[in-house]
Structure 1
Amino acid sequence: MGIAKSLLRLLRDERGGLALWAGLTAPVLVGFGALSVDVARMYNLDADLQTAADSLARAGAIELDRRSDSITRSTAAINNLVINEQQLGDAGGGQVQIASLRFLKALPISDDTPITAGYVTTDPKEARYVEVNVAPTAITTVFPPNLVRGLVRSQLTAQAVGGRKSGMCGAAPLFICNPYEGSGQSLQVALEDRAVRGRLVQLRGKGGGSAYGPGNFGFLEPPGGRGANELRDMMGQVSPDTCYDAEGVILRSGQISSVSQGLNTRFDMYDGSFGGKKDDPAYAPARNVTKGYTYTGNNACNASPEADTSKALGLPRDACFSSGNCPNMGGRMGDGNWDVVSYMRVNHRRPATATISGITYTFNYAAGTVSPLPRPTRYEVYRWEIDNNRIPGEYNPTGSGPNTQEKGGPRCFSGTIPAGPDRRIIPVAVLNCQALEAQYGLNGNSNPPLPAIGFAKVFLTEPMGSGSDDIIWGELVGMLQKGVDPWSTDQVEVRR
């Protein structure tokens, strides 16, 4: 009886059924667990490699400013400035290695179009993008590969293309045609030469013959399409509400002579509707406003050009503008031959030598010569005056000879000059006007947004005059630089 009951209980006992199911499902669960570990490892390794490619492309792209050493600097930045590591490769953790670099002058319109050899360049003035390919990294799976053949990769790699996107904000709405278009030399490279930077340029000429194209005299359309009065106001503001993208700017037609009232606030001149802004920091002048003007009495706001240049002398123009034979930009750009000797005679009492921008110049006043050549640029002399407390009329020079009767510091403005960018530096968009004319026709503001090759800094050498002197004169100083110039909004974009 006891034996029969024991057998019956054994037959009815279902507690071992779980072990059966566990035995059947355990391999599957373990396999899926191993697969999930593999997927996570591969995903994280792929993310590490792609992050490395992205950061390397960004580091290289920011150096692509079309200067003569841009590719060299970009390559050095990629190889030396950024270190990226991965931890999941078969060889263990370590630095992600670079397999190859290619510099590109353009990209296909579609992301799905391959980047062929036709897009590749070795010319630093053409390089706009850099393609980074990181070295493949091996990873061995835990899950048996033969069960998921074709789904698990053993080598992972990544690629990224970085490009520099230029822009400027808080700048007056001005553009200039690229004076080196078609020369085989980029403007960025040309401006590395002091002799080029010292050439005076008419940013805005006078009369119909000085237009860049029919109706275009060097102005950009203010954001929102605001009128001539707003454009005039922006020319004088320390930080106008403007932003421009190199991908496309809109030209503004018309000469708009009233812009002189706004522009000239930078020279401590407050005419017309700007008469009430003599104490407004938003319209402050530069620290050095030397311009060859004098005034009588105590009213510095009534200053006017001094006819006797032995008493006061602004920064002289290139001699070729007087003779009418300036060789560049159809006569709109000079040759850099300006009378620095007379300027030093009148404004600084005949110094025998002066160290300007790291170069010691010797002045021969009897012969009217300076050595070495090329002579310093006007901007370099202007900065030498500020940096060495030698603003004309603001210090007590020693020596013999005439002394300027001009007060080179602001006298009309009664407010506080804010810290910030130099008011006699004005950023401008630079356009390849010949190519744009051939493609669109530069006719007023009827064009689509036009691409700019970049944004340059111009030093304003003198105020805008009236009549035949209703011209904006300046020297090209260099291109805007991210992290250096407050107007620059350069960004780096990465494409995978």
Structure 2
Amino acid sequence: MLRTIRAFWHDQRGIALILVSIMLPAIIGFSLLAIDMSRMNNLHNDLQNGTDALALAAAAELNGRSDAWTRAQNALDNLVANDTRFSDGGTTVLTTGNGTATVDPTYSACRSKGRVSWCFLASIPANDSDPITAANYAASAVVTRFIQVRAQPETFTAIFPVSFSSSGSAADTSYNVSAISVAGFTSGVCNYTPVFMCNPYEMVNGTNSAGGATLEQAVSDPAIHRRLIELRMVGNNAAYGPGNFGFLAPPDDVGNGAQALAQTIATSAPRGCYSAQGVSTKTGQNTGPVQDAFNVRFGIKASGNAFNSAEYGPASNVRKGASTGGNGNGNGNGNGNSNQCPQYNQLTFNATGNMGLPRDATTPYMGGRMGDGNWNLSGYWSTNFGATSYPSSWNTTKPTRYQVYKYENANNLISHASTGGEVGTPPSACQAPVTTVDRRLLYGAILNCNALQAAGNNLNGNSTNLPVEAFASFFMTEPVPGASAGGSVFVELVDITGRGGAGTLDNFLRDEAQLYR
């Protein structure tokens, strides 16, 4: 008997079954906990991915225009739909659903609809650990830069029968799982010239000096689109108003001084990048090298042989109604002979038989610096192209000067001599024409100068972080005279970035919607 007991005591067969039986509740518990954690994690990931996608879609519409909130909600409604799983409701579609959004009665920037709520933000705290508060909410669509999107909480009931909730109730194994995302929109341009123009169509107290026309109408309405605008540089610390222009800070490695600034304007390959959320101005005057920087585009030689390399070449078409010398015959080609690339003071403008793109007949807007869009197309065409026909549609709707210029280029009319002998081909003694870009187009930022100065910004100084209304392209219709003649730049507005634009500036745009939280 004693031997049998001793053998039983030392027998270890089946001990694993005993250990497993003891540990089985713990194994099952940890398995259930792992399943619960996996389900909860997957549910949260689904919600987070959904709010991330919704926030990015809405943020892409926050371009500072007055309809940005409407477009952002349209994006939430129509662009993105995500499924969430593992909640008590099973598979749930994370969308805004149908119907009208509910506006928070206290904060108009906050709305909710379907299974989503959102708030439009003018700013976010610098530290990600700091909460977003009502101080960050946007007062209007114009100042909105970010959007916070929240998923309505999904109920999740755990299998593991132990609660970690603050209630302490063992029966309370249900949790609410949600997700919040914050996204913003950044817009900018690269390869742009460092120039800004004060918005000729800026509204002040519901009106402006352009007859009430808006910037978007100036691009889309033919009658407004063809208005000629005289841009002037401001000096002596005077206030900037509609139609004035100045300079932006060039790239850091360009250097300081008027010559360095002029190089970035004259080049056919600018390197500057500028953000719509904030640009910096640089003081400068429209004299000397800056005037030359504009005029090299017209096949006019810069003083002191500056800009004497291929990147500063003229446009393919430099017709400007000028001849060399005072006899009006242009020495055979109207732009200087083969041995001369003329300087500005060597040109005679509007001599008999030569005619550049005319100015508007009257200038009723912007204090006499914006025309009515009625310019002498027939006189320009007959002087330069004689009996050559042009599109019949121009007799019904007068084209812009830029449309006529492009038609000349596309239909081999550049070398056609005017009755005075001028051709559009640059003098052979100048740099070879630049064909990679249109040198007669000037690119710049449009600023609401009245509003900026009312907010305390000094545009004559080196101001920073100035918001941009739009980036634009302008067609230069004639060379820039010297400072003694006013130094004005005569342009037509061609296109703008944003919803009102025609898309011709898309190659310059760097629009990005990005997640911040």
* TM-score normalized by the length of structure 1: 0.78
2:215 to 187, 191, 195: 187
Q: Out of 36, 39, 42, which is 1:41 matched to?
A: 39
Do 2:146 and 2:185's aligned partners in 1 also have CA atoms closer than 8 Å?
Answer: yes
From 278, 282, 290, the counterpart of 1:252 = 282
- Asked if 1:301 corresponds to 2:317, the answer is no
Seen in structure 2, the aligned counterparts of structure 1 residues 418 and 136 have a Cα distance that, compared at 3 Å, is: farther
**Does the C-alpha gap of structure 1 residues 415 and 390 become closer, same or farther in structure 2, counting only changes over 3 Å?**
closer
Cα distance in 2 between the residues matched to 1:210 and 1:17: 96
Structure 2 residue corresponding to 1:343, chosen from 364, 375, 380 = 380
Preserved CA contact (<8 Å) 2:192 2:443: yes
Name the aligned partner's letter for residue 254 of structure 1.
Answer: G
CA deviation map 1:295-337 (0-9, x unaligned): 324346238655446622222223345xxxx422x44433333
Q: Does 2:28 align with 1:30? A: yes
The code of the aligned residue for 1:327 comes to Y
Q: Tell me the residue number matched to 1:264.
A: 295
Given that 1:262 and 1:274 are in contact with CA atoms closer than 8 Å, whether structure 2 keeps it comes out as no
Distance 1:85 1:463, change over 3 A: farther
Aligned to 2:441: 425
Structure 1 residues 34-43 or 150-159, which shifts more? 150-159
1:177 aligns with 2:198: yes
Q: Could you tell me whether the CA contact under 8 Å between 2:228 and 2:491 is conserved in 1?
A: yes
Alignment of 1:114 onto 2:142: no
- Contact 2:276 2:470 (8 Å CA) reproduced: yes
Give TM-score scaled by structure 2 length: 0.75
Structure-2 residue corresponding to 1:393: 415
2:444 aligned counterpart, secondary structure: strand
Aligned CA distance change for structure 1 residues 423 and 346 (closer, same or farther; 3 Å): same
Residue 232 in 1 paired to residue 262 in 2?
yes
2:227 to 196, 199, 211: 199
Unpaired runs of 5+ residues, structure 1, are 363-370, 396-401
Task: Tell me the residue number matched to 1:312.
Answer: 354
Structure 2 contact 119–137 (Cα < 8 Å) conserved: no
The aligned amino acid for 2:49 is: T
More divergent stretch after superposition (180-189 vs 340-349): 180-189
Q: CA deviation at 1:219?
A: 1.4
Structure 1 residue 492, shift from structure 2 partner: 1.9
Q: 2:455 is aligned with what amino acid?
A: Q
Per the alignment, in what secondary structure is the counterpart of residue 508 of structure 2?
Answer: coil
Partners in 1 of 2:313 and 2:497 — Cα distance? Answer: 22
2:479 aligns with 463
- CA gap 1:158/1:349 in 2 versus in 1, 3 angstroms: farther
CA contact (8 A) 2:123 2:137 kept: no
- Equivalent residue for 1:288, pick from 317, 322, 327: 317
8 A Cα contact 2:321 2:422, kept in partner: yes
Return the alpha-carbon distance in structure 2 between the equivalents of residues 106 and 190 of structure 1. Answer: 28
Amino acid aligned to 2:394:
Y
Whether the aligned pair in 2 keeps the contact of 1:391 and 1:409 (CA below 8 Å) is no
Distance apart, 1:262 and its partner CA: 1.8
Structure 2 CA distance, aligned partners of 1:442 and 1:305?
Answer: 37
- State the percentage of identical aligned residues: 33
Contact 2:56 2:184 in 1 (8 A): yes
**Alignment correspondent of 1:10:** 8
CA distance in 2, matches of 1:292, 1:458: 20
Query: For 1:166, which of 165, 184, 187 is the aligned residue?
Result: 187
Question: What do residues 247-301 of structure 1 show as CA deviations (whole Å, max 9, x unaligned)?
Answer: 33332223141212122222222322445625x1x22332332222333243462
Provide the alpha-carbon RMSD of the alignment: 3.8
Distance 1:43 1:33 in 2: 15
Q: For 1:475, which of 471, 492, 497 is the aligned residue? A: 492
Matched, 1:147 2:163: yes
Q: CA offsets per residue over residues 318-357 of structure 1, 9 Å max, x none?
A: 3345xxxx422x44433333333322332343677626xx
- Comparing 344-353 with 231-240, which one deviates more in the overlay? 344-353
Q: Distance in 1 between matches of 2:124 and 2:422?
A: 58
